């Protein structure tokens, strides 16, 4: 504890060192930073978040570790810039960083040169371009998403409890819809159920029993990438706990109070909701899409050649060690268990 409170002096790595820019302060960037010998590079970290968000706890609470806590304990100093990288120029080897935070100074944009660049910016929410999703649904990726969901959830409950509220409107307000039967959607639906039965039932005994949760999934079952056993367990546990699962159901549109869904027979239905949580997976960020578009063809070809040369060298090394390329075993991911 003493060492954590009293970090040692951090020398600057020196002007002769190459500049390594790391975009992001998430899982990828943080694990790189922890193992990196910062005395070998002039390291600059750029991220709109000045903390590491522990996503597995996001559905139940919000926790963040300031990134400076990690960088301050590195041997050599690391620069941290709170800002969003909006453009990567692969030719001039520079990045453009914008300060998009609430409080801005006179300078809000900077261009930073790099020798090496690590792009660890994660992904953004996938909406499949379905009309109304971006405007009306809540996502669950960032701290502010969790706060927004919490605010809307409690507002739905208080509005349902408002004097003289009509029965139809109470039913709509207390219908919580989660779209996406992957791990995030399943975990959130379960978390919501526990909150309603364990907490809400005490504070709002007249309301809690009227809350309905529906999980909507386009595929034939939830948790499609998990084992059959886990899928069956999840579906039967949800049934026991009266969490309604609509599989083979696609959301076609969303407005402020309804979602329109299409079932396996092509029949469309309008479902009223109070809270809509959207968890249908990820897509690449704009800065990454722009980078891919900006990479000159020649560079893409060179990357392909470079990758081929890496594999060739690898094969040669293995052969020199007496291992035939055909003996090389494919990489197998070992799962050490899930946190949530």
Ligand X SMILES: Cc1cc2nc3c(=O)[nH]c(=O)nc-3n(C[C@H](O)[C@H](O)[C@H](O)COP(=O)(O)OP(=O)(O)OC[C@H]3O[C@@H](n4cnc5c(N)ncnc54)[C@H](O)[C@@H]3O)c2cc1C
Length of the chain: 340
Interface with ligand X in residues 29-88 (CB under 6 A): 29, 46-49, 55-56, 58-59, 84-85
With beta carbons less than 8 A apart as the criterion, state whether 93 and 114 touch: yes
Of 30, 98, 110, the C-alpha closest to 68 is 30
Name the DSSP letter for residue 46: E
Please tell me the distance from the alpha carbon of residue 325 to that of residue 329, in angstroms, as a whole number: 9
Q: Which residues have a Cβ under 8 Å from the Cβ of 309 and sit 6 or more positions away?
A: none
Instruction: Give 172's strand partners.
Output: none
Q: Which residue of 141, 148, 150, 152 would you call a contact of ligand X, by CB under 6 A?
A: 141
Instruction: Tally Cβ neighbours within 10 Å of residue 102.
Output: 5
**Closer to ligand X at the Cβ: 80 or 200?**
80
140 binds ligand X (CB under 6 A): yes
Smallest separation (angstroms) from ligand X to the CB of 26: 2
Binding mask 261-290 for ligand X (x = CB under 6 A): ------------------------x-x---
Cα–Cα distance, 107 to 113 (Å, whole number): 17
Nearer to ligand X by Cβ, of 49 and 257: the residue is 49
Residue number with the shortest CB distance to ligand X?
A: 26
> Does 112 sit near ligand X (CB under 6 A)?
no
Sketch the per residue contact string, 147 through 186, with ligand X: x for CB under 6 A, - otherwise: -------------------------------------x--
Q: Is 127 in the site for ligand X (CB under 6 A)?
A: no
Name the residue nearer to ligand X (CB basis): 50 or 171.
Answer: 50
Residue from 78, 117, 120, 223 in contact with ligand X (CB under 6 A):
120
Tell me whether residue 173 or residue 234 sits nearer to ligand X (CB atom).
234
Contacts of 68 (CB under 8 A, 6+ apart): 50, 80
262 forms bridges with which residues in the sheet? Answer: 250, 268
- Min CB(329)–ligand X separation in Å: 24
Instruction: Judge residue 10's burial from the number of C-beta atoms within 10 Å of its C-beta, 0-12 exposed, 13-18 middle, 19 or more buried.
Output: middle
DSSP track, 233-270: HHHHHHHHTTEEEE-S-EEEEE-SSEEEEE-TTS-EEE
Q: Which of 10, 17, 19, 28 binds ligand X (CB under 6 A)?
A: 28
Task: Name residue, tokens 């706890």.
Answer: 57
Residue 338 touches ligand X, criterion: CB under 6 A: yes
The span of 24-32, 33-41, 197-205, 316-324 binding ligand X (CB under 6 A) equals 24-32
Of 66 and 272, CB closest to ligand X: 66
Per the CB < 8 A criterion, the answer to whether 162 and 174 are in contact is: no
If the CB atoms of residues 53 and 207 are measured against ligand X, the closer one turns out to be 53
The binding site for ligand X (CB under 6 A) comprises 23-29, 46-49, 55-56, 58-59, 84-85, 120-122, 140-141, 184, 285, 287, 338-340
């Amino acid at each position: 504890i003493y060492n954590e409170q009293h970090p040692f002096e951090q020398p600057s790595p020196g002007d002769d060192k190459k500049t390594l820019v790391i975009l992001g302060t998430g899982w990828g960037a943080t694990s790189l930073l922890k193992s990196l010998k910062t005395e070998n590079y002039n390291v600059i970290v750029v991220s709109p978040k000045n903390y590491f968000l522990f996503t597995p706890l996001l559905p139940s609470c919000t926790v963040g570790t300031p990134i400076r806590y990690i960088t301050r304990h590195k041997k050599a100093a690391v620069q941290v810039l709170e800002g969003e990288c909006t453009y990567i120029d692969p030719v001039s080897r520079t990045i453009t960083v914008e300060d998009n935070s609430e409080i801005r100074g006179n300078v809000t944009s900077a261009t930073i040169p790099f020798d090496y660049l690590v792009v660890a910016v994660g992904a953004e929410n996938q909406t499949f371009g379905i009309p109304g999703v971006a405007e009306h649904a809540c996502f669950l990726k960032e701290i502010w998403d969790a706060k927004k969901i919490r605010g809307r959830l409690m507002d739905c409950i208080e509005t349902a409890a408002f004097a003289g509220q009509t029965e139809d409107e109470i039913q709509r307000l207390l219908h919580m819809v989660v779209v996406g039967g992957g791990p995030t959607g399943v975990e959130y639906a379960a978390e919501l159920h526990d909150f309603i039965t364990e907490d809400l039932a005490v504070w709002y005994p007249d309301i809690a029993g009227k809350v309905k949760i529906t999980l909507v999934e386009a595929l034939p079952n939830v948790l499609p990438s998990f084992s059959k056993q886990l899928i069956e367990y999840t579906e039967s546990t949800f049934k026991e706990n009266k969490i309604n699962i609509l599989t083979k159901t696609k959301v076609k549109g969303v407005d402020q109070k309804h979602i329109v869904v299409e079932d396996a027979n092509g029949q469309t239905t309008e479902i009223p909701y109070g809270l809509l949580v959207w968890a249908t997976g990820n897509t690449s960020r704009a800065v990454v899409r722009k980078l891919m578009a900006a990479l000159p063809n020649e560079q893409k070809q060179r990357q392909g050649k470079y990758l081929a040369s890496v594999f060739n060298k690898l094969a040669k090394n293995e052969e020199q060690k007496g291992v035939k390329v055909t003996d090389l075993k494919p990489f197998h991911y070992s799962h050490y268990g899930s946190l949530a």
